[in-house]
């Protein structure tokens, strides 16, 4: 979501005649786009702001956008007095106001819903993988999560507006579409005739666009995984055989305390149905360990579900208490050393499975999408349909989407060669 917001901000500034630079001392405007999901990310923001402040030109405009901006509000000006603007994740389209009035200060952390999509200029060129947000905010009030506070209540964009942006992306360079939402599979839009549009409708319509060869979406809430969407995995070959569906914990008791009221049976049943629809489908998850009240036995149940599902790639985090959330006020917080030990144990196992899956790809041929070059410039980086990185020897005019034979693998990536 932040990558998308970053592109929109960059493209808005390009419209105003700015060009990109990586050098802070050269910049006329510096914007830090921020994430507030865990405390660590938020803490990094203020130290980064301090560094930027010392390195920038004295009269360069300087501000923060995104969820930390929304969370800190006017307090950010108190902490960093030379900030010029503080704009929330739904108000960064107000940025031109500060360009017109560079001597003022701009604070806007309103939850404007979908306003930004209407006001921002279209991007001139789409990246090869176009992220398209189809909703803002979230209505699931998970007790650990700050998102409902920073991004507000869930609102789905209109079918028409999403398809217009998707088509524009396809005509300006996109090959893959990734639909985005905090609760992406809960997308629901009813038009003026009363017709209901769901994520499956967006996928079906997008698959008709000849330039688009791959479609995916993230991230999915288990109880919103309806049969029409599961069916898409068997009907629509452009939909990649890969799904991020966070389980967070394998303990029913902890899921209840997280206010994620789905049963483990329901979750595993969805995966069973998905495998029938698409036998090669692979699943990824997010996990939180050390949620308040998590016992050793609760944690072992998380290990059990990980062993049962064999997620090929996951994100796992230590629980981080966040402002405005119910879990931060729970009494039975888990000590840091226990959280760390549980995370290490889970990560070791998840990494092992990921390595096994990667090694199992050796000698297979996978259709891969070009991402760019590696740091040395001597290799090309591609993405497989399962979102693995695949490294190939550099060649000029390399194909954007091509079959690659996998020759080697480790935990983090694959190596491969072109077929010809």
Q: 185 or 384, CB closer to ligand SAH?
A: 185
**Cβ-based nearer residue to ligand SAH, 14 or 286:** 286
Compute the distance between CA of residue 374 and CA of residue 382 in angstroms, rounded to an integer: 10
Task: Give 210's DSSP letter.
Answer: T
Residue with tokens 């786009």: 33
CB-wise, 85 or 299, nearer to ligand SAH?
299
Q: Please give the Cα distance from 125 to 172 (Å, whole number).
A: 5
For ligand SAH, which residue of 205, 211, 286, 374 counts as binding (CB under 6 A)?
A: 286
Cα separation of 202 and 181, whole Å? Answer: 13
Chosen residue from 254, 283, 288, 334 binding ligand SAH by CB under 6 A: 288
Among 145, 170, 180, 232, binds ligand SAH (CB under 6 A): 145
Helices and strands, number each (H, E), in the chain? 14, 19
Query: Is there binding between residue 322 and ligand SAH (CB under 6 A)?
Result: yes
CA distance 267 to 223: 8
- Following CA atoms 383, 384, 385, 387 in sequence, which dihedral angle do they give, to the nearest 10 degrees? -60
Binding residue count for ligand SAH, defined by CB under 6 A: 16
Question: CB of 244: closest distance to ligand SAH in angstroms?
Answer: 7
Q: Minimum CB separation from ligand SAH for residue 2, in Å? A: 11
Contacting range for ligand SAH; rule: CB under 6 A; set: 111-119, 141-149, 270-278, 364-372: 141-149
Question: Does residue 150 interact with ligand SAH by CB under 6 A?
Answer: no
Residue 320 touching ligand SAH (CB under 6 A):
yes
Q: Is 342 in the site for ligand SAH (CB under 6 A)?
A: no
Report the residue number, 86 or 147, with the smaller CB distance to ligand SAH. Answer: 147
DSSP string, 77-94: HHHSTT--EEE-TT-GGG
Decide whether 278 or 322 has the Cβ nearer to ligand SAH. Answer: 322
In terms of Cβ atoms closer than 10 Å to its own Cβ (0-12, 13-18, 19+), residue 279 is exposed
Strands 242-244 vs 282-289: parallel, antiparallel or unpaired: parallel
Residues 84-113 that bind ligand SAH (CB under 6 A): none
- 130 near ligand SAH, rule: CB under 6 A: no
- In sequence order, the 6+-apart residues with CB closer than 8 A to the CB of 137 are 111, 113, 147, 148, 151, 152, 153, 154, 155, 182
Query: Which residues between 4 and 43 bind ligand SAH (CB under 6 A)?
Result: 37-38
Q: Which residue is nearest to ligand SAH (CB)?
A: 286
For residues 115 and 139, the answer to whether their CB atoms sit within 8 Å is no
> CA 233, CA 274: separation in Å to the nearest integer?
7
Residues in 235-274 at the binding interface with ligand SAH, rule: CB under 6 A = 246, 248
Q: Residues in the site for ligand SAH, rule: CB under 6 A? A: 37-38, 138, 144-145, 147, 182, 219, 246, 248, 286, 288, 317, 319-320, 322
């Amino acid at each position: 979501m932040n990558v998308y917001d970053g592109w929109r901000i960059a493209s808005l500034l390009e419209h105003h005649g700015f060009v990109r630079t990586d050098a802070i001392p050269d910049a006329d405007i510096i914007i830090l786009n921020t994430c507030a999901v865990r405390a660590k990310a938020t803490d990094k923001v203020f130290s980064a702001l301090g560094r930027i402040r010392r390195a920038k030109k004295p009269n360069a405009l300087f501000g923060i956008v995104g969820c930390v901006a929304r969370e800190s509000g006017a307090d950010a000006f108190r902490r960093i007095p030379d900030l010029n603007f503080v704009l929330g994740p739904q108000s960064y389209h107000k940025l031109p106001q500060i360009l017109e009035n560079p001597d003022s200060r701009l604070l806007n952390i309103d939850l404007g819903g979908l306003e930004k999509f209407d006001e921002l200029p279209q991007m001139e060129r789409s990246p090869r993988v176009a992220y398209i947000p189809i909703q803002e905010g979230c209505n699931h009030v998970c007790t650990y999560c700050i998102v409902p506070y920073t991004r507000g209540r869930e609102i789905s964009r209109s079918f028409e507006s999403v398809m217009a942006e998707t088509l524009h992306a396809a005509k300006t360079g996109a090959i893959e579409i990734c639909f985005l939402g905090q609760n992406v599979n809960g997308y629901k839009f009813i038009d003026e005739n009363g017709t209901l549009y769901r994520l499956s409708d967006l996928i079906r319509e997008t698959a008709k666009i000849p330039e688009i060869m791959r479609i995916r979406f993230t991230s999915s809430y288990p109880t919103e995984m309806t049969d029409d969407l599961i069916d898409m995995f068997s009907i629509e070959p452009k939909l990649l055989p890969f799904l991020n569906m966070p389980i967070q914990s394998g303990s029913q008791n902890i899921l209840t305390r997280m206010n994620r009221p789905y049963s483990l049976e329901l979750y595993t049943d969805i995966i069973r149905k998905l495998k029938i629809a698409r036998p090669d489908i692979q699943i990824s998850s997010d996990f939180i360990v050390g949620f308040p009240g998590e016992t050793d036995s609760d944690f072992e149940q998380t290990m059990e579900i990980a062993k049962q599902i064999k997620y090929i790639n996951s994100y796992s985090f230590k629980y981080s208490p966040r402002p405005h959330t119910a879990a931060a006020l729970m009494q039975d917080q888990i000590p840091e050393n226990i959280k760390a030990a549980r995370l290490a144990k889970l990560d070791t196992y998840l990494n092992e499975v990921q390595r096994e899956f990667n090694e199992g790809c050796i000698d297979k041929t996978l259709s891969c999408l070009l991402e760019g070059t590696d740091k040395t410039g001597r290799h090309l980086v591609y993405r497989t349909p399962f979102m693995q990185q695949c490294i190939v020897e550099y060649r000029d005019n390399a194909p954007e989407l091509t079959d690659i034979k996998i020759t080697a693998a480790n935990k983090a990536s694959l190596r491969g060669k072109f077929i010809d």
